[in-house]
Structure 1
Amino acid sequence: MPHPIRAAHVAVSWLTVFPVPQPRIAMDRIAGGAAISATPVVGMLLGILCAAIAFGLDHTDLPTALIGVLLVTVLAIATRGMHLDGLADTADGLGCYGPPERVAEVMRSGTVGPFGVATLVAVMLVQALGFGALTDQHRWYDLVFVVALGRLGAVIGARRGLPPAHPTGFGALVANTQRVSIAVWATLAALGAFATGFFSGTTAFDTHVAIQSLVVVVVVLGITWGFTKHCARRAGGVTGDSLGAAIELGTAIAVVGLLL
Structure 2
Amino acid sequence: MPADLRLAAGARLALTTFTVAPVPTGRVDRATAGTAMALAPAVGALLAVPTAGVLLLLGSFTAPLVAAAVAVAVSALLTRGLHLDGLADTVDALGSYRRGPAALEIMKKPDVGPFGVVALVLVLLVQAAALAELAGGPGPAVLAAIVTATAAGRLGVTLACRRGVPAARPDGLGALVAGTVGPVALAAGIVAVTLLAVVAVPGRPWQGPLAVLAALAVVATLVRHVVRRLGGITGDVLGACVELVTTLVYLGLVLSG
1:173 aligns with 2:176: yes
Task: State the alpha-carbon separation in 2 of the partners of residues 101 and 13 from structure 1.
Answer: 28
1:222 aligns with 2:220: no
**C-alpha distance after superposition, 1:195-214 (max 9, x if no partner):** 336xx2xxxxx3xx111112
Amino acid at match of 2:60: H
**1:92 Cα deviation after fit:** 0.2
The equivalent residue for 1:15 is 18
Task: State the alpha-carbon separation in 2 of the partners of residues 144 and 65 from structure 1.
Answer: 19
**1:137 Cα deviation after fit:** 2.5
Task: State the alpha-carbon separation in 2 of the partners of residues 118 and 14 from structure 1.
Answer: 26
Identity of aligned residues (%): 38
Task: State the alpha-carbon separation in 2 of the partners of residues 172 and 146 from structure 1.
Answer: 27
The equivalent residue for 1:164 is 167
* Equivalent position to 1:235, from 225, 230, 236: 230
Amino acid at match of 2:247: A
**1:7 Cα deviation after fit:** 1.7
TM-score (norm 2): 0.92
Task: State the alpha-carbon separation in 2 of the partners of residues 49 and 220 from structure 1.
Answer: 23
Task: State the alpha-carbon separation in 2 of the partners of residues 8 and 173 from structure 1.
Answer: 16
Q: Which moved more, 1:230-239 or 1:85-94?
A: 230-239
**1:116 Cα deviation after fit:** 0.6
Q: Which runs of 5+ in 1 are unaligned?
A: 201-205
Would you say the 8 A contact 2:169–2:234 is kept in 1? yes
Would you say the 8 A contact 2:9–2:32 is kept in 1? no
1:155 aligns with 2:158: yes
The equivalent residue for 2:112 is 112
Would you say the 8 A contact 1:158–1:177 is kept in 2? yes
1:41 aligns with 2:42: yes
The equivalent residue for 1:203 is none
**1:41 Cα deviation after fit:** 1.2
Task: State the alpha-carbon separation in 2 of the partners of residues 35 and 241 from structure 1.
Answer: 17
Amino acid at match of 1:122: L
**1:129 Cα deviation after fit:** 1.0
Change (3 A) 1:132 1:241: same
* Equivalent position to 2:26, from 18, 24, 27: 24
SS at match of 2:33: helix
Task: State the alpha-carbon separation in 1 of the partners of residues 187 and 122 from structure 2.
Answer: 30
Would you say the 8 A contact 1:8–1:41 is kept in 2? no
**C-alpha distance after superposition, 1:132-176 (max 9, x if no partner):** 211122322212211111111111111111110001001001001
Amino acid at match of 1:236: G
Change (3 A) 1:127 1:196: closer
Would you say the 8 A contact 2:6–2:32 is kept in 1? no
**1:183 Cα deviation after fit:** 0.3
The equivalent residue for 1:4 is 7
Amino acid at match of 2:76: A
1:184 aligns with 2:188: yes
Q: Which runs of 5+ in 2 are unaligned?
A: none
Change (3 A) 1:161 1:136: same
The equivalent residue for 1:196 is 200
**1:110 Cα deviation after fit:** 2.2
SS at match of 2:221: helix
1:142 aligns with 2:145: yes
Q: What's the RMSD between the two structures over aligned residues? A: 1.5
TM-score (norm 1): 0.91
**C-alpha distance after superposition, 1:58-94 (max 9, x if no partner):** 222x211111111111111110111000000000000
